[in-house]
C-alpha cells in the first residue's frame, strides 16, 4: 500500500463517538425551537400562487396575441379578395 492509500484508510476508518455524544446532540436539538411549518407553508403557497397567476397571465396574453394575429390575417385575406375583385372589374372596363 502506498502512503495515499494508508492516509485514506486511516482517515476513513470507523471511530467510536465520545461517550457523551448522544446527550450533546439531544441537548442541541432541544435547545432549538422548532420553526412552525405553517409559516413556511404560507410563504410557499403565496409564491406558488404568484407563479401560477403570472404564468396564467402570460399565457392569456400570448393567446390574445395569436387571436389578434389571426384576425389581422383574415382582414388581409378579405381585403385581398376585394382588391382582386375591383382590379378584375377595372381590367374588364378597360378592354
Instruction: Please count the CA atoms within 13 angstroms of the CA of 76 that sit on its side-chain side.
Output: 6
- Any idea where the domains of the chain sit in the sequence? 3-94
- Is 0.75 surpassed by the pTM of this model? no
Q: Sorting pLDDT into bands at 50, 70 and 90, what band is 55?
A: very high
Q: For position 39, what pLDDT does the model report? A: 64
CA distances from 63 to 21, 44, 72, 77, 87 (A): 62, 28, 14, 21, 36
Amino acid at each position: 500500500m502506498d502512503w495515499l492509500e494508508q492516509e485514506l484508510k486511516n482517515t476513513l476508518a470507523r471511530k467510536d463517538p465520545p461517550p457523551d455524544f448522544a446527550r450533546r446532540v439531544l441537548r442541541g436539538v432541544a435547545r432549538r425551537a422548532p420553526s412552525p411549518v405553517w409559516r413556511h407553508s404560507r410563504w410557499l403557497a403565496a409564491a406558488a400562487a404568484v407563479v401560477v397567476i403570472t404564468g396564467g397571465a402570460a399565457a392569456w396574453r400570448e393567446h390574445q396575441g395569436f387571436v389578434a394575429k389571426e384576425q389581422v390575417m383574415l382582414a388581409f385575406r378579405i381585403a385581398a379578395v376585394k382588391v382582386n375583385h375591383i382590379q378584375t372589374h377595372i381590367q374588364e372596363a378597360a378592354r
